[in-house]
């Protein structure tokens, strides 16, 4: 989730310079890696049918890069159980790639430090390094240059999952198009937001949340405007589009408030489904190692 997503100029390499503040939320995919005769990716869970199971999948590419680094063949079966919405602007594909880096580091006993995994991660995608570290971080460059950020307390979120996804490159292109027409203005620096995170007060944080991609996501999917309004009407402190969308995220005062906002949003018929989540949480990590047992 991007609490602040400031999008700068389109660079000659096709990327945009970003200033972003990431926070990892408690929505996760389960990824397992096991030795196999050939490299394969299997995907289960909601939206699984839309996820590629070949070299298009970042998790596949992560295995190939790790194998190259380890000087061995990428003979693993990767199984992904989706809990993060597919094409939802929540960096689910990046989380899966980060999980494969961590998983293969363990399976193959490579002992690579996280910083070295982060270099591989940055080559896979702009959001993969953050998915590796988790927590709360300031991202620059394409979003891959990270600095940890002090965040006090746990923040409570409600996520409204949309019907259908949005393509990240298409949303960036739409923002470029809107800007050529003179609209919309760019977000400033996130100094005040960083102070609010350190204070741990959701009411202080709420008015400072911002996403330059929001107007582009709404331009491509105008119904998001209704979803955003419905979350605030339901009692959230603020709502914004998550990353390139179309998931909308609502910051709430407390866990109880999040549960009530989620229930009201689910009944309002403005989205496909609703989840609650907390942040910050850690990044990709090993939760069960059958190989060491």
Residues with a known catalytic role = 127
Q: Is 143 in the site for ligand C5P (CB under 6 A)?
A: yes
Establish whether 192 is an annotated binding residue.
no
Q: Which window, 61-69, 122-130, 155-163, 199-207, contacts ligand C5P (CB under 6 A)?
A: 122-130
Contact at 8 Å (CB) between 16 and 127?
no
Contact at 8 Å (CB) between 264 and 180?
no
26 CB-near residues (< 8 Å, 6+ apart): 277, 278, 279, 281
User: CA geometry: angle at 259 spanning 256 and 264, to 5°?
Assistant: 125
Establish whether 87 is an annotated binding residue.
yes
Q: Is 172 in the site for ligand C5P (CB under 6 A)?
A: yes
Q: Which window, 30-38, 72-80, 166-174, 282-290, contacts ligand C5P (CB under 6 A)?
A: 166-174
Q: Is 125 in the site for ligand C5P (CB under 6 A)?
A: yes
| CA–CA dist 241, 125 (Å, integer) | 20
Closest CA to 100 of 50, 25, 41, 32: 32
Query: Torsion over CA of 261, 263, 265 and 271, rounded to 10 degrees?
Result: 130
Q: Which window, 12-20, 101-109, 157-165, 193-201, contacts ligand C5P (CB under 6 A)?
A: 12-20
CB nearer to ligand C5P: give 168 or 276.
168
The residues of the shown chain that bind ligand C5P, judged by CB under 6 A, are 14-16, 18, 125-127, 142-143, 168-169, 172
From the annotation, which residues make up the binding site for ATP?
A: 85-95
């Amino acid at each position: 989730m991007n609490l602040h997503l400031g999008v700068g100029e389109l660079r000659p390499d096709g990327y945009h310079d970003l200033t972003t503040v990431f926070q990892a939320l408690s929505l996760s995919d389960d990824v397992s890696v096991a030795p196999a005769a050939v490299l394969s990716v299997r995907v289960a869970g909601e939206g699984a049918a839309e996820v590629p199971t070949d070299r298009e999948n970042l998790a596949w590419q992560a295995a190939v890069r790790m194998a190259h680094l380890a000087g061995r063949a990428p003979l693993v079966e990767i199984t992904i159980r989706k809990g993060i919405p597919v094409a939802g602007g929540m960096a689910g594909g990046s989380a899966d790639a980060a999980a494969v880096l961590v998983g293969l580091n363990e399976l193959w006993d490579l002992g690579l430090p996280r910083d070295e995994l982060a270099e591989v991660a940055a080559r896979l995608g702009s959001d993969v390094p953050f998915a590796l570290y988790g927590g709360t971080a300031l991202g620059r460059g394409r979003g891959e240059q990270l600095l940890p950020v002090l965040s006090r307390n746990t923040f409570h979120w409600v996520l409204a999952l949309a019907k259908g996804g949005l393509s990240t490159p298409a949303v960036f292109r739409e923002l470029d198009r809107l800007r050529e027409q003179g609209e919309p203005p760019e977000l400033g620096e996130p100094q005040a937001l960083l102070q609010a995170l350190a204070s741990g007060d959701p009411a202080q944080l709420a008015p400072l949340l911002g996403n330059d991609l929001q107007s582009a996501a709404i331009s491509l999917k105008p119904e998001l405007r209704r979803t955003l309004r419905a979350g605030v009407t339901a009692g959230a402190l603020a709502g914004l589009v998550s990353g390139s969308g179309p998931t909308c995220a609502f910051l709430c005062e407390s866990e109880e408030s999040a549960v009530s906002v989620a229930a009201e949003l689910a009944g309002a018929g403005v989205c496909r489904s609703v989840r609650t989540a907390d942040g910050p949480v850690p990044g990709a990590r090993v939760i069960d190692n059958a190989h060491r047992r």
